[in-house]
Chains A and B, each alone.
Chain A
Amino acid sequence: MKAWEDLVGTALLGTRRRTLDLAHLPPAVRPLAEDRADPAEQLLAAAAVLTTFRRAGRQALHDVRPLPVATEDERAFVPPLARERLARLLAASHPDLLLEWLGIVAGTRYRVPPETLPLLAEAARTKAALRGPLVAVAGPVGAWLGQRNPDWSFLGAPAESGGSPDIWQYGSLAQRRRWLAAKLAEAPDEAREALTTSWKSEPADVRSDFLSVLAPHVRPEDEAFLEAALTDRAAAVRERAAELLGRLPGTRYGESMAERLRPLVRSRNRVLEIVLPQGERGDGTVRLRTLVAAAPLAFWTEFGPPAEVVRMTVEGCPAAVLRDSWATAAVRQGDETWAKALIGADPGGRTTPPLLGVLSPASQAATIGHLVSRLPVESFARLVHELPRPWTKELGTALLDWIARQDDHRLVSHAAVVIARAVPPQCLRHPLATTRLTMDAGPWRRALTETLNFRREMYEELA
């Protein structure tokens, strides 16, 4: 509108410097301006009318193109109480409980109210662990949102379970990881073929990453592939490959490690005499660690049963080096006897938590019960933080039984936080959760009871 632009230009410059030409004004506005004597007032009067006209006469937009329509989601909304719970979870920022809640919903035929999806997507943007369950819960509406908002593109991931090789070739790293994991479960041979074909062209961190994806699926046929990876340019890949090879029984790699170890170990009068391996470079203890961690534990049976070997005096290297390496081997090889022996020899040691992960559920709980009586409360409370998860029902119950007997202590209260969140759902009806608290119960005990009950209600509301 020419008249309006004239007014704005004149107002910027000032009516003293630029004369306002009233002739340019629309005929209906001109008399209103001419009523005034001062040119500034003439301008303001005309501008007021035009402003009102422009605002009141504002036109709607036209020819706006509609967005595509998301696939219908047939699932019912989570029940009202669960909806409330979600609002509490989003407001209180407990990412671990939110993760658990989403995990439960993902296993049901429910969806969340769509208006909560933006907040959930924002939470998952910064906390990647939430993404998997959120994608399932958010369903087609989530995928639709992910296509609209680049920050949430993880929601819009195309359906991958069908196993389109395009994802393996062109997908993002996260998509490729998911594809590989799914493929390793459904079609192990195809998965390995895809992995070996592209192996050489992957960057080092991706190679190491894919080995972790392979870890839970590793099988004897992988020996050659892993052995080749032992000579990888990247140290992280070599370490991961050695670790995976250690999980396989009877590999050539394990045997060769044992052979190299044999001349270095001797026993005399319940003393293990160790000679540190020589090499062109590097520390002998580091090389010894590699050998012991990679050799089959059966190698040590000629010196006695595990429970005895781990208690023998060590000469030639620090005993801790040997124990740590045995622990690494026991975890890799999943050897329960060795794990028990090592825990028994040094219950407060830092290898105890990973070693506990090797034990069967029943023996895990029994060992925990045993440790409770042997370790000072402080050491045991620290141990709780490092216990490998997920916990079994037996382990969870054993830990709840333990903490129920404790008095107020800083480390106990920290352990209580971990226990409350990590015990599996079958433990949520433990007497600790269902017995009424006494009035003098400490804050940590209240928090523990509350978290247990909160989680129990989460499951009940979505049952």
Chain B
Amino acid sequence: MGGQVVTAVPWTAERVAGLAPDPASEKAGRALAAPAKWSGAGASEDAVWGFCQGSGKKPYQTCVELAEPAFRCSCPSRKFPCKHALGLLMLWAAGKIDAGPAPEWVHTWLAERADRARRAEKRAEATGPKDEEAAARRAGERAARVEGGVAELKVWLTDRIGAGFAGFDRNGGEELRTVAARMVDAQASGLAGGLRRAAGTVGRRDWPEALLSELSLLYLLADAAGRLDELPPPLAETVRTRLGFSVETARVMETGERVSDDWLITGAADEENDRLLTRRTWLRGRGTGRDALVLSFAPPGRPLDASLPPGHLLTAELAFYPGAAPLRALVVERGIPLAAPSAEGGSIPEALAAYAEAMAADPWLERWPILLSAVTPAEHAGGWCLSEKDGTALPLVPYAFPWPLLAMSAGRPLTVAGEWSPAGFRPLTCWHENRAVRL
């Protein structure tokens, strides 16, 4: 080894596992994390690489670029990253790959990538302003369709409430899904999502009131959509976002509120909807106390953004999307995530007060990040909750698997981060004996 070879700090195994596109890949990756499977493996500051002996004659050539991260493997798998890339990173995480100068093929690939990124940037610059007219026309057409959808929804809502929705449970909310489909046609994805959520409540024990809650908020949204010009600009932005209009990344980068801080990555939740994977990553600014949400999307089998590992601290500048209660943000400038072995949160009353304030600004808020210090899992009315010393507690969502949290607590207080919603608290990360554990 030459003395000047520098390597990146190996990631934790949990962080590698977080990259897996599905549990099967994680499992297969772990099985490949054995030195005997690899030859010619090495690591540098930018990349990890190696040859993996598969079932075929020729070993697979695997390389991971660490910054983004990006993956390349000569195997035929369509999963991304493939099990070989995961296995290689696991092996690296276990400290079983030595530092060394990158071989020619790794250099070539890294250079290709850098080159492509430069070209894409140039292209974006070159094509930027040209299509402005066409873009404006398209935006106008879209707005008109959404407007039509909003009007149709209002008619349907008032008609339905006029006739009463007793009997909705008989066909399991079929009618709601039909209206949702029409909202998709009208390009009002926010309204469609709300209707599908409403359909999901039908059949629950308390469905009439849950349904009325969802439908009334949709009405509020449709109503606000017709008065966008009268609303204060931030609230108008919120309404547009809730309707399903996306804000261009470039605009957020240019005009979004910038906040620099040391951000604690408090948790990440993955969800699959309509064959699209969504990862919600929550951040809390250590200095500013600001909460932020970074969304990442991917079709199944493709990687979600893994550059924000929960339980790590990241010095970064964020650009917030516009809105009345700005939460969603983009990461503009970032440092290297460092493991945060402990975290400091607040109390339950503080968290609920912050949630109420956010709700007042954005009544369509679905989830709110909460970071609690010194809470203990406890039982309440047949369910689980997180309790403070004085007996103040938040109920857990009914579908949460409480046992890992219980095992870490064993009756003692913990710091826990998670999402609060009308259904309850969903724990995402917990700090225990100087390490963060993803739940």
Chain B interface main SS type: helix
Residue of A nearest to B33 (CB): A88
As a 0/1 sequence over residues 422 to 463 of chain A, the CB contacts with chain B under 8 angstroms (1 = contact) are: 000000000000000001000100100110011000000000
Contact (Cβ within 8 A) B159 A40 = yes
B336 at the interface (CB under 8 A from A): no
- Say if the beta carbon of B100 comes within 8 Å of chain A: no
Closest-by-CB residue of A relative to B17 is: A87
Contact of A69 among B36, B160, B352, B410 (CB under 8 A): B410
B403 nearest CB neighbor, chain A only: A118
Q: Does A159 contact B (CB under 8 A)?
A: no
- Is B385's CB within 8 Å of the partner chain A? yes
Chain B, Cβ-Cβ closest to A114? B407
Q: Which of B57, B163, B394, B410 contacts A14 (CB 8 A)?
A: B163
- Contact: A60 with B352, CB < 8 Å? yes
A34-86 contacts to B, CB under 8 A, are: 38-41, 43-45, 47-48, 50-52, 54-70, 77, 80-81, 84
- A67-B376, A144-B411 as given contacts; A40 in contact with B392, CB under 8 Å: no
Contact B406 A148 (CB under 8 A): yes
With a CB–CB cut-off of 8 A, which chain B residues contact A77? Answer: 433
A16 at the binding interface (Cβ < 8 Å): yes
Distance in Å from the Cβ of A441 to the closest Cβ of chain B?
Answer: 10
Alpha-carbon distance between A17 and B161 when the two chains are bound, in angstroms: 10
Given contacts A13-B164, A145-B403, A148-B406, contact A62 B219 (CB under 8 A): no
Q: Please give me the residue from chain A that is nearest to B405 by CB atom.
A: A115
The interface size bin for chain A is 35 or more
Chain B contacts for A113, CB-based, 8 A? 437
Please tell me if B109 contacts chain A, counting CB pairs below 8 Å: no
In contact, A56 and B349 (Cβ under 8 angstroms): no
Q: Are B385 and A8 in contact (CB under 8 A)?
A: no
Known interface pairs A12-B165, A67-B377, A149-B403. Does A60 touch B349 (Cβ–Cβ under 8 Å)? yes
Choose one: B165, B212, B407; the contact of A115 (CB below 8 Å).
B407
Contact across chains for B161 and A40 when beta carbons are under 8 A apart: yes
Residue A285 at the B interface, CB < 8 A?
A: no
Bound-state CA distance A229–B265 (Å) is 68
Report if A320 contacts B (CB, 8 A).
Answer: no
**A118-134 near B? 1/0 per residue, CB < 8 Å:** 10010000000000000
The chain A residue sitting closest to B412, CB to CB, is A69
B394 lies within 8 A of A48 (CB): no
The one of A12, A58, A68 in contact with B166, judged by C-beta atoms closer than 8 angstroms, is A12
A61's closest neighbor in chain B, by CB?
Answer: B393
The answer to whether B355 touches A70, judged by C-beta atoms less than 8 angstroms apart, is no
Task: Tell me what chain A mostly uses at the interface: helix, strand, loop, or mixed.
Answer: helix
> What CA separation (Å) do A58 and B379 show in the bound complex?
19
Residues of B within 8 A of A8 (CB): 208-209, 212
Q: Which of A18, A47, A69 has the most CB of B within 10 A?
A: A47
A7 within 8 A of B: yes
Contact with B along A275-301 (1 / 0, CB 8 A): 000000000000000000000000000
Residue of B nearest to A46 (CB): B216
User: A166: shortest Cβ distance to chain B, in Å?
Assistant: 26
Are the C-beta atoms of B220 and A145 separated by less than 8 Å?
Answer: no
- Minimum Cβ distance to chain A for residue B124 (Å): 41
Q: Which residues of B contact A40 (CB under 8 A)?
A: 157-162
Q: CB of B340 within 8 A of chain A?
A: no
Q: Tell whether A145 pairs with B356 under 8 Å between CB atoms, given A11-B161, A84-B94, A92-B30.
A: no
Give the shortest distance, in Å, between A186 (CB) and chain B (any CB): 31
Q: How far is the CA of A69 from the CA of B26 in the complex (A)?
A: 35
What residues on A are CB-neighbors of B30 within 8 Å?
87-88, 91-92
- Partner pick for A44 among B161, B387, B430, CB 8 A cutoff: B161
A22 at the interface (CB under 8 A from B): no
Q: Distance in Å from the Cβ of B398 to the closest Cβ of chain A? A: 14
A43: which B residues are within 8 A, CB to CB?
A: 161
Interchain CA distance A456-B90 in the complex, whole Å: 19
Contacts of B391 in A (CB 8 A): 62-66
A14 CA to B378 CA, complexed, in Å: 42
With the chains together, A87 CA to B438 CA distance in Å?
14
B408 A66 Cβ-Cβ under 8 A? no
Q: Is B164 touching A60 in the complex (CB atoms < 8 A)?
A: no
| Contact status B208-A11, CB under 8 Å | yes
Determine the distance from Cα of A108 to Cα of B406 in the docked complex, in whole angstroms: 25
**CB <8 Å contact, A91 and B363:** no
Tell me which residues from 75 to 94 in chain B have a Cβ below 8 Å from any Cβ of chain A: 90, 93-94
Asked if residues A61 and B394 are in contact (CB atoms below 8 Å), the reply is yes
B34 & A51 in contact (Cβ 8 Å cutoff): no
Confirm or deny: B171 has a beta carbon within 8 angstroms of a beta carbon on chain A: no
> Do the beta carbons of B213 and A47 come within 8 Å of each other?
yes
Instruction: State how many angstroms separate the Cβ of A76 from the closest Cβ of chain B.
Output: 10
Across-interface contacts of B33 in A (CB, < 8 A) = 84, 88
Judge whether A15 is part of the interface by a CB distance below 8 angstroms: yes
Interface centre among B34, B36, B94, B212 (most CB of A within 10 A): B212
The verdict on A184 contacting chain B, using a C-beta distance below 8 Å, is: no
Q: Does any Cβ of B come within 8 Å of A4's Cβ? A: yes
Check A141 for interface membership: any CB of B closer than 8 A: yes
Contact of B360 among A7, A56, A145 (CB under 8 A): A56
A3 within 8 Å of B by Cβ? Answer: no
Q: A61-B395, A64-B392, A449-B36 are in contact. Are A44 and B359 (CB under 8 A)?
A: no
* Known interface pairs A47-B212, A69-B410, A145-B407; 19 further A-B residue pairs with C-beta atoms within 8 A, sorted by A's residue number: A13-B166, A14-B163, A14-B164, A45-B216, A48-B220, A51-B363, A52-B217, A61-B393, A66-B378, A66-B411, A70-B412, A88-B30, A91-B26, A91-B30, A113-B437, A115-B408, A141-B410, A145-B403, A450-B37
A→B interface (CB under 8 Å):
4, 7-8, 11-18, 38-41, 43-45, 47-48, 50-52, 54-70, 77, 80-81, 84, 87-88, 91-92, 113-115, 117-118, 121, 140-141, 144-145, 148-149, 439, 443, 446, 449-450, 453-454
A-B contact pairs, 22 of them (CB 8 A): A8-B212, A11-B165, A15-B164, A44-B157, A44-B216, A45-B219, A47-B212, A55-B422, A56-B355, A58-B422, A67-B376, A69-B411, A81-B95, A84-B90, A84-B94, A92-B30, A114-B410, A114-B432, A115-B404, A118-B407, A145-B403, A148-B406
In order of increasing CB-CB distance, the 4 nearest A-B pairs are A14-B164, A47-B216, A69-B411, A56-B359
Interface residues of B (CB under 8 A from A): 13, 17, 23, 26-27, 30-31, 33-34, 36-37, 53, 55, 57, 90, 93-95, 157-166, 208-209, 212-213, 215-217, 219-220, 223, 348-349, 352, 355-356, 359-360, 363, 376-380, 385, 387, 389, 391-395, 401, 403-404, 406-408, 410-412, 422, 430, 432-433, 437, 439
